[in-house]
Amino acid sequence: MSAVPRVAAPETRTGLVRRARRIDRALAEHYPDAHIELDFDDSFQLLVVTVLSAQTTDRRVNAVRPILFAAYPDAAAMAAAPREHLEQLIGPLGFFRAKTDALLKLSAALVERYDGKVPPRLDDLVTLPGVGRKTANVVLGNAFGIPGITVDTHFGRLSRRFGWTDETDPVKVEHAVGALFPKKDWVMLCHHLIWHGRRICHAKKPACGACPVARWCPAYGEGPVDPLTAAKLVKTEGPA
């Protein structure tokens, strides 16, 4: 494989913005079906499954979701759920006692403060038990269509690999990267980076030789650059 040119340094602010947007456009072409990989029917379901997704996979949460919401379809029902039954339903996800406690407190807060509805405002969402900026932005962007940046492990890792920011604090990453893109692009930007991080730009061994944005990536070469070797590292779907 011919060498892929590395990003010239130092890079101007204008150059950084242009390169960042080129990367996003290329990822959009490579992942035309990118979307949130948690299943949900409404804002309450999305809030709950996002809380449940901590320290487990989206696929496992999706497997539990139907029976969970068949039993407790809204905040009022879940707030009144017997703890033992709720623990049983979400047991396969691990940390079920802590997650049950989180769901009971979260549902009760929704009932007490917002008449059982999920508020479509960041400032309100982050006051709910167990809800931080990451979870709030997932809900705002995917349930309400309100622009927000979800800084999960993949988004943070790729933002630094791409040289968009040196920050490690999620809130600082959110603001630094958000400044590079129009707000209308924020939600899909998150999907593009998360899909790329799960499928090609892995934490320990990125598949550099199979990367659609290698030409704009200053971290090119951290993983195998040989196309055949890199192709073996590519995952065709999100985590099992």
Query: Residue 7 in contact with residue 221, Cβ under 8 Å?
Result: no
Nearest one of 81, 141, 142, 66 to 111, comparing CA atoms: 81
Per DSSP, helices labelled H in 72-152 are 75-79, 83-90, 96-114, 122-125, 133-143
The DSSP-derived string for 55-70 is TS-HHHHHHHHHHHHH
Asked if 90 and 49 touch (Cβ cutoff 8 Å), the reply is no
> Catalytic site residues?
134, 152
Tokens at residue 154, please?
């993949």
